[in-house]
Chains A and B, each alone.
Chain A
Amino acid sequence: MTYFIIFLTSLFILGGLAVASNPSPYYGVVGLVVASIVGCGWLVSLGLSFLSLVLFMVYLGGMLVVFVYSVSLAADPYPEAWGDWGVVGYGVGFALVLTVGMLVGGVLGDWVWGVVTVDGGGVFSVRLDFSGVAMFYSWGVGMFLVGGWGLLLALFVVLELVRGLSRGAIRAV
């Protein structure tokens, strides 16, 4: 099980590398989708099923879908692909910077290969993540209301940003 989780962590790093060195936003979104699916699998493997489902529905099903159709607004008629030498150069360069940084920082020598799952303290009838997020409505109700108010505010911010034609400040058409 630990080896499966380590495999998922390496796929997560590769997804991050794919987003960073994307030849075109289409392929960057593919890297992000792969990274979030692998992240969901990683959370499920640790036993955090509620947080994995929240990531899947809100992040992948909400935010990434919006990003995908916004990427179609920024369409290139002839995008670069993964095999182009400029893209490979960027990918290798980012991986090299990361490796050198890890070497200099001293984290590449001593690796701890253990994984702690959600049952590490014993099996409970109410899981760790369910009981924790449920506190959002009881003890954390202040932050819950702040988060809801922030989302409502973001709605009006978006409305004002995309106003155009002499009623707004950013768009000219």
Chain B
Amino acid sequence: MAITHLSFYSAFTLSSLGLAFHRTHLVSALLCLESMMLSMYMALSIWPAENQAASSTLMPILMLTFSACEASTGLATLVASTRTHGSDHLHTLNMLQC
């Protein structure tokens, strides 16, 4: 595998592991999502440079647009849950507990 491909592949895997094992705060899970978006942006930017395909360079810009929408929605959810529960700790989201 090319060493540059291995880099954003590892960063994506580490961030998804961090998303799966987030511990106390909801905002650390959102930060791991942002890190996944960053590694995907790097992947989508480097691929047209390697294949010399100019028209594919608009794909990372488009991905960044939708990533901004998703980040704003996640932060709005964070603000709503913090105002309801007093903090963004994950043990306060326990309505599905039996």
The residues of A with any CB-CB pair to B shorter than 8 Å are 5-6, 9-10, 12-13, 15-17, 19-22, 24-25, 28-29, 31-32, 35-36, 39, 42-43, 46-48, 51, 54-55, 58-59, 62-64, 66-67, 70-71, 73-74, 90, 94-95, 97-98, 101-102, 107, 110-118, 120-121, 128-129, 131-133, 135-136, 139-140, 143, 147, 150-151, 153-155, 157-158, 161-162, 164, 168, 170-173
Interface residue tally of chain B, by bracket? 35 or more
Contacting residues, chain B, for A39 (C-beta < 8 A): 38, 41-42
A144 CB to nearest chain B CB (Å): 8
In the assembled complex, 24 residue pairs joining A and B whose CB atoms fall closer than 8 Å, in A order, are A6-B3, A9-B6, A19-B35, A59-B41, A64-B34, A70-B79, A73-B88, A90-B21, A90-B23, A102-B10, A112-B2, A113-B3, A118-B49, A129-B57, A131-B57, A132-B53, A135-B55, A136-B62, A140-B58, A143-B58, A151-B69, A153-B69, A157-B72, A173-B84
From A12, A43, A67, contact of B45 by CB (8 A): A43
Interface of chain B: mostly helix, strand, loop or mixed: helix
CB-based contact B68/A128 at 8 Å = no
With A133-B57, A161-B76, A162-B79: A101-B13 Cβ-Cβ less than 8 Å: yes
